[in-house]
Structure 1
Amino acid sequence: MSDPIHYLNPPLLARPNGFSHLTEATVDRMVFISGQVAYDPSGAIVGAGDLAAQTRQVFVNLGHALAAANAGFDSVVKLNFFVRDISEAAVATIRQVRKEFLVETALPASTMVGVAGLAKEALLLEVEAYALKG
């Protein structure tokens, strides 16, 4: 069976830094994961004021959601990041932590935007994911 995900970076687009310009997938099923934040299983915020700790918890939560769909991070085709107080340092922190979860040679398409706020004041990051199965 051929690889169901193809990572493409067309030569007429600027070389991407930390993402793929597009991912093409042949699938039987898509999985849509709501934005995950740094809540532990009890609903408490993990890492108040610590973007690295919150990023790690967000990716742990995404991993749990993917596992519930019998998928993994290698199934993710798109990530959307919503970041409070976005800066170059914040982007670098998020990218460093996500390396623990994503394969650098097969990065999904992604979007990262700065936002004025999230559901609770102490939350610094929310990430939603699209994955495939089949």
Structure 2
Amino acid sequence: MSETVFHLPETLPRARGYTPAVEVRGGRTLYISGQVALNAGGELVGPGDFEAQARQCFQNVAHALAAADMTFADVVKLGLYVLDMAGLPTLRRVRDDFVNTAQPPASTLVQVSAFFRADVLVEVEAVAVAPLERRA
């Protein structure tokens, strides 16, 4: 059985939308590679539309989680990569449609200069941990 502890130390600044440290004791771990807004057919969803791309990224993460019999409730860490920080309010809103906002995962946000394709605006990666007894 796994146990997840969300640490909010008073010695760190207050976090908005993420938990500074998430401890996992036991369980099985899933590392999800960065997901961009490509659908199952390899087509870009939402060309030029940051929100549509962000939503597709999170949906792709959800598909990867489901393949391991996991959900966003099991996500303990997100990596968020954007071309432009102007999309941050939108990214937060979309993220909050997927994660547990009462106990959000640890998170890192990075602005990048480019992705592997010029039309990709955002990428999301994740780490999830689930109990050993729940197996795909």
Shorter chain as denominator, the TM-score bin is over 0.9
Q: Distance in 1 between matches of 2:4 and 2:50?
A: 30
Alignment partner, residue 72 of structure 1: 71
| 3-state SS of 1:97 partner | helix
Query: How many residues are paired up?
Result: 131
Q: Does 1:108 find its partner at 2:105?
A: yes
Q: Give the superposed CA RMSD.
A: 1.2
Give TM-score, length-normalised by structure 1: 0.93
Alignment partner, residue 55 of structure 1: 54
Alignment partner, residue 85 of structure 2: 86
Identical counterparts, % of pairs: 41
Instruction: Give the drift of 1:17.
Output: 1.1
Instruction: Give the drift of 1:27.
Output: 2.3
- Structure 1 ranges of 4+ moved more than 3 A: none
Give TM-score, length-normalised by structure 2: 0.92
Instruction: Give the drift of 1:28.
Output: 2.5
The unaligned stretches of length 5 or more in structure 2 are 132-136
Alignment partner, residue 24 of structure 2: 25
Alignment partner of 2:92 out of 83, 92, 95: 95
The unaligned stretches of length 5 or more in structure 1 are none
Alignment partner, residue 35 of structure 1: 34
Q: Distance in 1 between matches of 2:126 and 2:69?
A: 14
Alignment partner of 2:129 out of 105, 127, 132: 132
